[in-house]
Amino acid sequence: MQFRHSKHDVFIPDNTDPWTALRRVTHLGIVSHQDDLEIAAYHGITECFHDKNKWFGGVVVTDGAGSPRKGAYASYTDEEMQKERLLEQRKAAFVGEYSIQIQLGYPSEEVKRPRHEPCIADLKFILEHAQPEILYLHNPCDRHDTHVATFLRCIEALRDLPKEMRPKKVYGCEVWRKLDWLLANDKVMLSVDKHPHLLRPLLGVFDSQIAGGKRYDLAEEGLRHANATYFDSHTTDGAESLNFAMDMTPLIEDDQLDMEQFATRFVRRLEDDVRERVRRFM
């Protein structure tokens, strides 16, 4: 199993044959950076954990270059930090019992190129052979440039596949712009109550990020409880922890849908809701 960038890495936590490990995947996450999977695709990880009929697969597209560092990592070169982050992602895959963990190793600037063929070809290869039922991606309203670019490359790869080989569901998940602003009817509510103990060890292996001053472990735990509590003001909580997502499935059901217009439609609906609510009480 070979990929196009020289820095690619394939890790199989249970030492299964790589082809078997890829083909048994039912829930797949494709994200930009190390630790994005454990934030954006946490629902898929918990759905598959200790379930022999479901397997989570993770794909990290970029090489992790340019991350902030201080403390024990302050003197690390960029190359050393990339190696550290690759190893941390392997540790997370072991803790979460992923079927397969693939790191493609592309620099962010390459992923940002429209229709970047090597990246799209690698993504298409993975999707073609895994054929997951559920796919977790970044969402197009995220405020991190690389996240949005990775999302676009993934949709381009999906649209290169025959429709019968595409996932049943595609979710655009929250990382750098949270999705609590979506209207209730536009939110996909992913309950992450299963295995509540799993979040801290999964994110805790990313020591280079946490020690560098970003307490993702605490932030994500608090966010998920907040999502569940603040989802609705007039009902009791139906779950203890929620991740919010956008349903991106229409983009792979209709290849003619414009991705920009599809994304901004969510924003326009929010604008209409705010305008109508203010006018109602003026």
> Residue 41: phi, psi to the nearest 5?
-105, 25
Domains of the chain, by residue range, sit at 9-256
| Measured distance CA(245)–CA(120) in Å, rounded | 23
CATH superfamily of 9-256: LmbE-like (3.40.50.10320)
Q: Are 143 and 179 in contact (CB under 8 A)?
A: no
Checking if the pLDDT of 70 tops 60, the result is yes
**Given 3-state DSSP classes, what are the helix, strand and coil percentages for the chain, each rounded to the nearest 5?**
45, 15, 40
Whole-number average pLDDT of the chain: 93
The percent of residues in the chain predicted with pLDDT above 70, rounded, is 98
Checking if the pLDDT of 233 tops 80, the result is no
**Quick one: tokens of 39?**
């934030």
| Measured distance CA(3)–CA(105) in Å, rounded | 9
Provide mean pLDDT across the span 151-169: 97
Cα-based distances in Å from 20 to 15, 17, 99, 130, 227: 10, 5, 9, 9, 36
Predicted confidence (pLDDT) per residue in 235-251, tens digit:
656 788 999 999 999 99
Please tell me the predicted confidence (pLDDT) of residue 113: 94
Please tell me the predicted confidence (pLDDT) of residue 240: 86
Predicted confidence (pLDDT) per residue in 31-40, tens digit:
999 999 999 9
Got the DSSP string for 177-238?
S-STTS-GGG-EEEE--SSGGGHHHHHHT-HHHHTTT--HHHHHHHHHHHHHHHS-SSS--S
Q: Are 153 and 117 in contact (CB under 8 A)?
A: no
| Measured distance CA(153)–CA(261) in Å, rounded | 17
With 0.75 as the threshold, say if the pTM is over it. yes
* Greatest extent of the chain over all pairs of C-alpha atoms, in Å: 65
Predicted confidence (pLDDT) per residue in 117-152, tens digit:
999 999 999 999 999 999 999 999 999 999 999 999
